[in-house]
Amino acid sequence: MRCSVIGLGYIGLPTAALLADNGHKVFGIDINQETVSTIREGKIHIVEKGLDQIVSKVVSNGALKVYTKPKECEVFLITVPTPLENKNSDIPIPDIDHVLSAAKSISSVIKKNDLIIIESTSPVGTTDKVESLIKKYSGYSRNEVNIAYCPERVIPGRTLFELVENSRVIGGLTKKAAKAAEEFYKTFCKGKLLITNARTAELVKLTENAYRDINLAFANEISMICHESNINISELINLANHHPRVNILNPGCGVGGHCIAIDPWFIVSEHPEMTPLIQQARRVNQHKAIWAIEEIKFIVKKLTLSLKRVPKICCLGLTFKPDIDDTRNSPALFITKELIDQGYDVISCDPHIKENLEFKVSKTEYALRVGDLFICLVAHKEFKNINFNGLNVFDLCGLIK
């Protein structure tokens, strides 16, 4: 089939590459000319294991072509971002403008019986809004074109593998649309394809990440209690998890990324009075980074007295999770920037960040040579070989067992 993937980011580009590698003729669409130019050269603008080889292959053999405007085809996948508005307010609101703009952009090339699939994380009712917009601009109703919602379920660093192996929830506006989407995903997915309606599928995605956020909040809350009680959190979790019905997650310096740190608000914004638990979990995870900064400042104050000088703080890790280059909503990056902005002598290190951010990113070897206090923020595999014996360490990510 001819397929258009609208939005060539962390989900769209791997999806487009996989489709092209599985025999489809794929048009990758992105409004960013620099992104389009990069991919046209057979290169990638994001870091994802194995993606560069596949993109180089499918661009060179013509299976993937990239443009800034949609092309006529049989399948349209919308994989654009859905950020939050008013992120600093008590209850941020999801912004689906990119999804609606993508739907409007494809309306001029849609034909009868085409398949339109929204993969972007969206609040309940978004697929209905897309259908209304497509009907307005193309004239086709939900009975004339097939519109479905199918959220991605991948983790950065394993995207190509999980796009193929993970099960998918497919929600159609009609049974015919759900069936058409199911047949399409069968062409490259090995996981189970679970059929439902669009509104249920939309809430499934949000529920999955709210569930994870709540469980991480529990782990982060217990970790702060352990710190105050001088108890090793890693040992405590290991012992507690020997209970047959307990599975406490590993705490961190907060929760980041574009899913867990964002999606719970999609539910809360629609049901603020019914979501006290989801809201509190979000605030616990946001507070963890603030708490970490205050603890670091306290440690620095004591260390200044013993060293009789201002200590150099080494922040190890800047991404939102281990072994990737993604800093979206990263609490590690937030902590590092806050310490720098407050005037502390900070050395930042991350082997996965190739260029300086708003501040210099140093080599780990240099930090180990000159540092006085080491803040473990992200458990990159490169950091696991460091011998921290004899060093001043504040471990926020379970790097030291």
Q: Would you name the residues annotated as active-site residues?
A: 205, 259
Tokens of 381: 């595999």
Tokens of 159: 């995207």
Instruction: Tell the burial category of 40 from Cβ atoms under 10 Å away from its Cβ (0-12, 13-18, 19+).
Output: middle
**Residue 15 in contact with residue 54, Cβ under 8 Å?**
no
How far apart, in whole angstroms, are the C-alpha atoms of residue 287 and residue 294? 11
How far apart, in whole angstroms, are the C-alpha atoms of residue 381 and residue 288? 23
**Residue 76 in contact with residue 106, Cβ under 8 Å?**
yes
Return the HEC string of the chain. Answer: CEEEEECCCCCHHHHHHHHHHCCCEEEEECCCHHHHHHHHCCCCCCCCCCHHHHHHHHHHCCCEEEECCCCCCCEEEECCCCCEECCCCCCCEECCHHHHHHHHHHCCCCCCCCEEEECCCCCCCHHHHHHHHHHHHHCCCCCCCEEEECCCCCCCCCHHHHHHHCCEEEEECCHHHHHHHHHHHCCCCCCCEEEEEHHHHHHHHHHHHHHHHHHHHHHHHHHHHHHHHCCCHHHHHHHHCCCCCCCCCCCCCCCCCCCCCCHHHHHHHHCHHHCHHHHHHHHHHHHHHHHHHHHHHHHHHHHHHHHCCCCCEEEECCCCCCCCCCCCCCHHHHHHHHHHHCCCCEEEECCCCCCCCCCCEECHHHHHHHCCEEEECCCCHHHHHCCCCCCEEEECCCCCC
Tokens of 264: 């719970």
Q: How far is CA 220 from the centre of its chain?
A: 19
CB atoms within 10 A of CB 178: 24
